[in-house]
Amino acid sequence: MVVVLFAGAVLGYVFFQSQEQQGRKDAAAAYTPSETNKDPSKAIPGVATATFPAGQHINPTDRVAYTHFPPMGGAHDFAWAACTGVVYPKAVRNENMVHSLEHGAVWIAYDPARITGDAVDTLRKRVSNQPYTMMSPYPGLDQPISLQSWGHQLKLADANDPRIDQFIQSLRRNQYTYPEVGASCSALGPGQFDEDNPPAFNPVPPGPGARPEVDNGAPAGDERLSNPSTGGAG
């Protein structure tokens, strides 16, 4: 009798695990890009979108007057940030992170004043060693968490929000939503982006010589220079 009960418990556990795994697969499939569903993120509540031209590069000493914070596209540095599942301990320069979005990466940014401890660990598990994914603190966010891919952004309050996985599944390396399909996420060589010592985020608004988000080579106007939510720009 005991053996029968034990065997039944084992079979029940295996069945439950199988059902749970199938449920995760089914949920993921709903947010997997395809020819008939090129941007599954359209079904995720709260996702904001914008359109940016590709390939607008600036020099390492230049700054961009972004209009979204964190930025989700636009002009950016020639060197992209390493996005091979890197969890940056400190905030990184916007202009490098944006270039990685152009390569198909998803960037998880969080406000270190509000996301700490277990919540940071929960986010880290979604990023660490995952291809085309990166994470960094971003001081002064208007929401505790912000997810970015090229032309897409989702702001959240909870590290356990299921929309985080939906966003990643929908947009990481989604060939229909980013410009440079097939581009690398590995850091460039010496003298370029240093994954271990990346350019730091600058919270001070850029001056009149900043490049506009959509860059035609001319400085941005003063009205583009300040972050409406925090008073800063990177």
Residue 208 lies in a domain: no
- Which pLDDT belongs to residue 52? 97
The band of 198, judged by pLDDT with boundaries at 50, 70 and 90, is very high
Rounded average pLDDT over 193-218: 90
Per-residue model confidence as pLDDT tens digits over 108-141: 999 999 999 999 999 999 999 999 999 999 999 9
As a whole number of angstroms, the distance between CA 84 and CA 29 comes to 23
What's the token pair of residue 94? 């916007």
Q: What is the DSSP letter of 68?
A: S
**pTM score of the predicted model:** 0.83
3-state secondary structure of 191: coil
Per-residue model confidence as pLDDT tens digits over 6-48: 666 666 665 655 665 565 556 677 999 999 999 999 999 999 9
Please give the distance of CA 183 from its chain centroid, rounded to a whole number: 16
Residue 8 lies in a domain: no
pLDDT at 188 over 90: no
Pairing between β-strand 48-49 and β-strand 152-156 as defined by DSSP bridges? antiparallel
Count of domains for the chain: 1
Domain limits at 152? 41-187+196-201
Bigger pLDDT: 26 or 92? 92
Residue 233 lies in a domain: no
- Which pLDDT belongs to residue 2? 65
* Residues contacting 26, CB < 8 A, separation 6+: none
Q: How much is the CA Rg of the chain, to the nearest whole Å?
A: 20
pLDDT at 66 over 80: yes
- Which pLDDT belongs to residue 153? 98
CA-to-CA dists, residue 150 to 17, 94, 116, angstroms: 35, 13, 26
Instruction: Tell me which residue of 50, 100, 52 sits closest to 75, measured CA to CA.
Output: 52
Residue 5 lies in a domain: no
First to last CA, the chain: 68
CA dihedral 83, 87, 90, 92 (to 10 degrees): 10
The band of 218, judged by pLDDT with boundaries at 50, 70 and 90, is low
Residue 35 lies in a domain: no
Residue 81 lies in a domain: yes
As a whole number of angstroms, the distance between CA 190 and CA 182 comes to 22
**What is the domain-level CATH number for residue 52?**
3.40.30
As a whole number of angstroms, the distance between CA 17 and CA 155 comes to 32
**Sign of the CA dihedral 44, 47, 50, 53?**
negative
User: For the chain, what percent of residues have pLDDT higher than 70?
Assistant: 80
- Which pLDDT belongs to residue 215? 76
Residue 172 lies in a domain: yes
| Residues 72 and 148: beta-carbon distance below 8 Å | yes
As a whole number of angstroms, the distance between CA 183 and CA 215 comes to 21
pLDDT at 62 over 90: yes
Residue 211 lies in a domain: no
pLDDT at 234 over 60: no
Q: What is the DSSP letter of 159?
A: T
